[in-house]
Amino acid sequence: MENLKLELKAKIIENLNLEDVEVSDIANDDALFGDGLGLDSIDALELIVMLDKDYGIKLSDPKQGKSIFESIDSMAAYISENKTK
Amino acid sequence: MDESKYIQSYCSINNNVVSLNGKVVFSDDSADVKSFLKAVYKSLDTKYPKFFKMDSLSKLAFLGAELLLKEESKSSNTALVFSNNASSLDTDRKHQESINDSDDYFPSPAVFVYTLPNIGMGEISIRHQLKSENAFFIFEKYNAAFHHTYENSLIQMNKADSVLAGWVNVDKNKCDAFLYLVSEKGTIEHTIENLIKLYNN
């Protein structure tokens, strides 16, 4: 699980072009949206594509995203339970 | 009455060199447009993380606006009138690459949102809180006569207090920008001849 969390942090930094942000800057329970990492709605769409492309997870209900993408902890837990590749 | 308009300030960004009002303010030897635009951004000491999410065309337009609107007492009624010849082709190609293979079909929303040339004007408007007229035209080359007429009209018809305008083009790992601020202040008269002269400098 810890490896998955590190992997997610690296992917988020790279895929979302978070310049000047290091893996070590993101705590597992940091809020990814709002006052936390400050991601926006386009970033949310990128994360949905990332789940599909890298882990074979298709979100059937976009409303699920709010809880899944709350933090690295919540993303890692959801991916661990639902990944197909 | 037809009041005189002036080119209050102007800049160019191309061939790895940035000039402001005729003076070189930055240059480097980056091998690609992306690295060069990042280096220009760093040189301006601007803190705007969203810059890194933009496509190259929007970055180029954004940097030109930073140079020209940074020190000016800018009006929220500054119109934007840009043109180029590649439209958003640089980003269109990236999007096309992501949808070519039906077995590996993962279009990126962050790329797709920049598949229009006028998105950069939206980025500038957000950055500088502009709620003004804007238009983006596609020409084969910089059309000084068209720009002159359009920019004058906006000010004469009280559609804008000033106009940030010019050429902003990115294609095939090359960028070329010539932007200027037209207003009723300044020393260089806003004429077709002066626009051509400054563009060719």
- In this prediction, residue B71 has a pLDDT band, given cuts at 50, 70 and 90, of low
CATH number at residue B60: 3.40.47.10
pLDDT value of residue A32 = 94
Residue B43 in this model has a pLDDT that exceeds 80? yes
Q: Which residues of A touch B106 (CB under 8 A)?
A: 49, 52-53
pTM of the complete model: 0.93
Query: Domains in chain A: how many in total?
Result: 1
CATH number at residue A23: 1.10.1200.10
Average pLDDT along chain A: 93
CB within 8 Å: A45 and B110: yes
- Residue B12 and residue B19 in contact, taking contact as beta carbons nearer than 8 Å: yes
Place of tokens 């040339």: B117
Task: Answer whether A45 touches B (CB < 8 Å).
Answer: yes
Query: Domains in chain B: how many in total?
Result: 1
Domain extent for B187: 6-200
Say which amino acid occupies A51: L
User: How many Å lie between the alpha carbon of B143 and the closest alpha carbon of chain A?
Assistant: 35
pLDDT value of residue A37 = 87
Nearest to A42 among B52, B106, B109 (CB): B109
pLDDT tens readout for residues A25-43: 999 999 999 888 889 999 9
Task: Answer whether A29 touches B (CB < 8 Å).
Answer: no
CA angle B46, B163, B15 (to 5 degrees): 55
User: How many Å lie between the alpha carbon of A42 and the closest alpha carbon of chain B?
Assistant: 6
User: How many Å lie between the alpha carbon of A61 and the closest alpha carbon of chain B?
Assistant: 18
The answer as to whether B1 is a domain residue is no
Domain extent for A29: 2-82
Contacts of B181 (CB under 8 A, 6+ apart): B7, B8, B9, B10, B68, B69, B72, B78, B162, B163, B164, B165
pLDDT value of residue B105 = 92
CB within 8 Å: A16 and B53: yes
The answer as to whether B108 is a domain residue is yes
Minimal CA–CA distance to A42: which of A50, A30, A31, A52? A50
pLDDT value of residue A64 = 87
